[in-house]
Amino acid sequence: MSPEISNQSLLFLIVFVVVPLSLSYFYQLGMSRSILTSSIRGTIQLFAIGYILTFLFDLNAYIGIPLMITVMIIIASFHARKKGRDLPYVLPTLLAGLIMIEVSVLSLWLLFDMVEFVPSEVIPMSGMVIGNSMVAMGLALERMKTEFAENNGRILAALSLGAEPKQASHLIVQRTLNAALIPNVDRIKTIGLVQLPGMMTGLILGGVAPIMAIKYQLVISLSIFSSVSLSAMFVTLVMYKHFFTKDKQVLESKEAFKEYSSRDNA
């Protein structure tokens, strides 16, 4: 394998686009346009990130790293917020959660000498931690909303028996965390068997010895595992409170009751 892909070779990537393009053409899928634009857009995005990373890597680590991590956390928070726009205090909760996770993971990496404090190591590794945490938080938010809607009657029953909101939502918190953790346990269990993890693949292609690549992969996989668990837990434990008023009533119970009683009457 050549150490570097030349620009001429890169041009032949066109071939890989021609395949779906002709498929769309012959079967009249009407997707030619979006195949073209998305390929071009993806290429531009990647090169832009490449230049930004080059710029950051050349900066002083104490400027480049905080700068990039701040940007990543802000983008990730706004993205995860889409899953819970209708809930109060979502953005500050997500921001706080991501900051807490990134700071603790990074401290551990540095403390145990797993990662060097240079942009080329910290930024991509943090990107994976933040990205995965963002997805987990979004899923937790979504799941929590569904669980609250589906279990509205049980929550009312628990409250009516004198339960605190915390006790009344115990079941929901449990189910949300369960749903957030199961796919991660599965992923760790089959790691390396079904699919070589992306980072390891990259390192091996870059010429790193497989055992070395595996060490890095272990660090990142377990870091992701723990930050994903933590982010789901954080979002769930902070957000469930906002489904209740200070009088221990279900928030927007008007809406909830309307649905609940119309289901009853049906």
Ligand X SMILES: Nc1ncnc2c1ncn2[C@@H]1O[C@H](COP(=O)(O)OP(=O)(O)O)[C@@H](O)[C@H]1O
Using CB under 8 A as the criterion, what x/- string covers residues 153-192 for binding other proteins? xx-xxxxxxxxx--x---x---------------------
Integer distance in angstroms from the first to the last C-alpha of the chain? 68
DSSP per residue, 192-259: TTSS--HHHHHHHHTT--HHHHHHHHHHHHHHHHHHHHHHHHHHHHHHGGGGB-TTS-BTTHHHHHHH
Q: How near is the Cβ of 146 to other proteins at its closest, in Å? A: 16
SS (H, E, C) 133-172: HHHHHHHHHHHHHHHHHHCHHHHHHHHHCCCCHHHHCHHH
Q: How near is the Cβ of 107 to ligand X at its closest, in Å? A: 49
Task: Identify the CA nearest to 200 among candidates 130, 129, 134, 125.
Answer: 125
For ligand X, the binding residue among 104, 178, 201, 261 (CB under 6 A) is: 261
For other proteins, the binding residue among 47, 103, 249, 259 (CB under 8 A) is: 249
85 binds ligand X (CB under 6 A): no
Q: How near is the Cβ of 247 to ligand X at its closest, in Å? A: 16
Please identify, among the stretches 82-90, 144-152, 180-188, 254-262, the one whose residues bind ligand X according to the rule CB under 6 A.
Answer: 254-262
Binding residues for other proteins (CB under 8 A): 153-154, 156-164, 167, 171, 247-250, 253-254, 257-258, 261, 264-265
Binding residues for ligand X (CB under 6 A): 254, 257-258, 261-262, 265
